[in-house]
Chain A
Amino acid sequence: KNEVEQSPQNLTAQEGEFITINCSYSVGISALHWLQQHPGGGIVSLFMLSSGKKKHGRLIATINIQEKHSSLHITASHPRDSAVYICAVRPRDDKIIFGKGTRLHILP
C-alpha cells in the first residue's frame, strides 16, 4: 500500500507551459515537503508546508489537509526545471514517508 501517491509519474512539456504535479496521501500528517532531485542524485528542499499555500519565484505549493492532497505548480516552465519532484509527508510522531517522484522534462 502506497501511503504517498504522486501523479503523473512522468511529464514532458514545452518551455513556457504551466506545470502541475499532484500528491495524495493517506495518513494524518504534521507537514508535507516538496523536494527537487537533480540527475546527479542531490536533493533540494523546495517547500515545507502544513496548510494553505506557499510561493517562491515561479514555484507555488498548495495543500488541502482535509482532502489529504497537495499540488506543486511551476509557472513559465524552463528546461532547467527538468528534474524529479518528490512529495514527502511527515506523519505525526513518525518519520518522513517519500513518494516515488514525478520525472519532469521541459523541452526547449
Chain B
Amino acid sequence: SAVISQKPSRDICQRGTSLTIQCQVDSQVTMMFWYRQQPGQSLTLIATANQGSEATYESGFVIDKFPISRPNLTFSTLTVSNMSPEDSSIYLCSVARGNTPADEQFFGPGTRLTVL
C-alpha cells in the first residue's frame, strides 16, 4: 500500500484568491492523480501529474485554473487559482505504482475547500 498525506486538510478562502494543496507519498510512485469531488457528486479526475513534464488535464480542466507541479516521484501540488464559490469541493490526491489494471489506486485524506 501507499500512505498519502495532504496539506491543508481543510481551508476557507475568499473569492479571487488561490490555494495550493500539497500531496506527499511515503514511497515512489509512477502515477499521481488529482480529483475533485463536488458536494453530492462522484469523483472527477482533474489531471494526471507527470514527473518531469506537464500534467495531462481532463476535458473541462485547464492549466491556468489548476496548475500542477510534480518535482519528484513522491510529491505533487495542485493550485486552485482565482477561486469562486463553485470551486468549493473536496480535492483528493491519488497514486498508483503503475498504470495497468493490476495496479491498485490509493487515495489521500482529501482537502476540504470552502470558497466564500
Contacts and interface: CB of A to CB of B under 8 A. Distances in A.
Interface of A: 4, 30-31, 33, 35, 40-45, 48, 50, 86, 88, 90, 92, 95-96, 98-101
Given A86-B42, A100-B42, A41 B110 contact: yes
Interface residues of B, number: 21
B109 A40 contact: yes
Contacts, number: 49
A96 B9 CA distance: 24
Contacts of B43: 86, 88, 98
Nearest to A50: B101
A44 B42 contact: no
Given A98-B43, A99-B42, A43 B104 contact: no
A40 B112 contact: yes
B45 interface: yes
